[in-house]
Structure 1
């Protein structure tokens, strides 16, 4: 994507470039139907097992544990090594919690809009601390008893069949109990994601365990947690208020979207610098529009990266039509019906996006509106063949 190439202003028929031959598809289907069945594949013992990069990393902490994450500047540096761009204020708040002595369980409450990096922060903290990450995604009407312990249907069936089963094995430990138990041997981060989706009854399940670092069970003796080895992280959006007693036990942090500087840092290793600047500029406009252009959910860095990778792939395929590129980017950065409507309104009527060649924005076709976004995204990457005409039109309108 070095330099500029001539692009289409919307007249090129994209369907011709993406046309598929039905005859070719029929031939391919025929070949498949007559092909000799492949032998049943057997896993090659020499092939390494797939590793989920979201939960694993090449980063190796010098010492496992939360006490070794250091001061805020060191925390920012370590998080950067695993791909998390941490705002200074957020690093200070986390460092205060982790470095202040306490007898109860350290608990973070991360509240913010979807896509601002709440869950990713938990994954990143687990990587740099060497902690085991345990996750629970909450949902409406979820069974709450299973947080502590629940009946083992297999053990009960075995007992009914005449097998001798120990009392403890009749009950399965819930995720909260397992996290407490594992913290006795090493660092654990328990991520309780979207705590505000169930009703407020779930909040009370955490009060005693957080305060006392102990869980009382019916099937066995109490389980104590090592407060130095356990960090509970709650995430929530803005669906409901939490119980006052739980709030008193948490360190609350209000998270926001990253600023443009950190967004550029995230996108730069993957996209052309000019494309990064263009996409971040669009996101900045959406975040700061206000007034008549109030977006519910401006794009998060992950969505900007997706848009950047999509545009890069379109250019690699030779698709440079402004309208088509804008059409592809549109649903990535404005996902809700409300935000898509606001985006269209802004592209049609905001003075910064007016097109002197199409002065009747109210009745302009949607392809032309998509093209306006495409020209912004591809600014200084793909040359606008109508640039001189637009400049002359602005001059005629005495626009300054």
Structure 2
């Protein structure tokens, strides 16, 4: 799409996501359409690897907007996320002024605390005007940041503005498109959630996951794609794993097996490559060997190799 226009309907939102290769269900397209129409932040929650971050990337690409990403982590503070002053440049300016005999401290203070010395971090960058239109601000994995950091976001999410004590309030002419993601490792405060529309991004069903594999790994043989998806779906449904594989891992596994020139799931190769799909040794040990062979046998009873499941 890439034309800056916001989709006018749910169907247009689905088409917009599809234009960038994102296979979405209608419930996600609905809440995304509403978030764009109402100019409200969208709070996406779900397990790691289900495609939350990708939504922001796809949206920026489809609309032709800049993507500004704030990756959250423990210890993230306002100086890293919003703004900070260029102290080194300020000191140089002060010394130059003093050497020139400028003793008007009030004027000097105004000068060194001007926008010329302001370092704009992702949140403040997102409030600046852009020729391509308001950017997409991705606040990724908010649950990794300290709870205190959420307070910094309330003003931005509610009023699309940042208050800088030395400069005053900087407000966006048009609000950015804000996407917040969390893997739910901790609860996010209600005050922040109230300012957003909410959507839980779940693992896709078999039909949609197969669509995703076909779209993202077009070189994978049809039978291999079908069996990979069936294997992963069975793991999620039947195995008590510490970390279930996400869509990202499904795609990695399909890609790896294609690189090995597999045309269907071979139990031995599948067992040997479980480290692509599963990321914890206990999970790998639980599934590898005889259990992998049993799962492959089970899914072959359910899938006709000659006929891929209809999508």
Pair in the same fold by TM > 0.5:
yes
For the Cα contact (< 8 Å) 1:213–1:225, is it kept in 2? yes
Partner of 2:144: helix, strand, or coil? coil
The one-character-per-residue Cα deviations of 1:30-72 (angstroms, maximum 9, x if unpaired) are xxxxxxxxxxxxxxxxxxxxxxxxxxxxx532xx14xx21211
1:193 to 134, 140, 145: 140
| CA shift for structure 1 position 321 | 7.2
**Pairing 1:83–2:30 present:** no
Partner Cα distance (1:189, 1:82) in 2: 15
Report what 2:169 is aligned to: 222
Larger Rg: 1
1:315 to 261, 275, 279: 261
Partner Cα distance (1:185, 1:127) in 2: 11
Q: What count of residue pairs does the alignment treat as equivalent? A: 287
| CA shift for structure 1 position 301 | 2.5
Give 5+ residue unaligned stretches, structure 2. 98-107, 306-311
The one-character-per-residue Cα deviations of 1:345-392 (angstroms, maximum 9, x if unpaired) are xx64xxxx6xxxxxxxxxxxxxxxx666677899998xxxxxxxxxxx
Report what 1:233 is aligned to: 179
Residues 185/74 of structure 1: CA separation in 2 closer, same or farther (3 Å cut)? closer
- Please give the residue correspondences for 1:269-284 in structure 2 after superposition, counting only pairs within 5 Å: 269-284=218-233
Residues 185/84 of structure 1: CA separation in 2 closer, same or farther (3 Å cut)? closer
Residues 337/181 of structure 1: CA separation in 2 closer, same or farther (3 Å cut)? same
Residues 69/201 of structure 1: CA separation in 2 closer, same or farther (3 Å cut)? same
**Pairing 1:285–2:234 present:** yes
Report what 1:298 is aligned to: 244
For the Cα contact (< 8 Å) 2:51–2:248, is it kept in 1? no
Residues 270/298 of structure 1: CA separation in 2 closer, same or farther (3 Å cut)? farther
Partner Cα distance (2:266, 2:136) in 1: 47
| CA shift for structure 1 position 75 | 1.1
Bigger helix fraction: 2
Report what 2:53 is aligned to: 119
Report what 1:397 is aligned to: none
The one-character-per-residue Cα deviations of 1:271-325 (angstroms, maximum 9, x if unpaired) are 1110011101101101211xxx322333223222221222222237x9x9752x1
Residues 185/322 of structure 1: CA separation in 2 closer, same or farther (3 Å cut)? closer
For the Cα contact (< 8 Å) 2:35–2:197, is it kept in 1? yes
The one-character-per-residue Cα deviations of 1:117-149 (angstroms, maximum 9, x if unpaired) are 010000001111222110010111123333332
Report what 1:60 is aligned to: 2
For the Cα contact (< 8 Å) 2:73–2:145, is it kept in 1? yes
2:152 to 199, 205, 230: 205
Further displaced range: 201-210 or 157-166: 157-166
For the Cα contact (< 8 Å) 1:307–1:332, is it kept in 2? yes
Partner Cα distance (2:266, 2:29) in 1: 43
Aligned-residue CA RMSD in angstroms? 2.9
Partner of 1:86: helix, strand, or coil? coil
Further displaced range: 232-241 or 150-159: 150-159
The one-character-per-residue Cα deviations of 1:165-184 (angstroms, maximum 9, x if unpaired) are 64313332232122112369
Give 5+ residue unaligned stretches, structure 1. 1-58, 354-369, 382-400
Partner of 1:97: helix, strand, or coil? helix
**Pairing 1:176–2:123 present:** yes
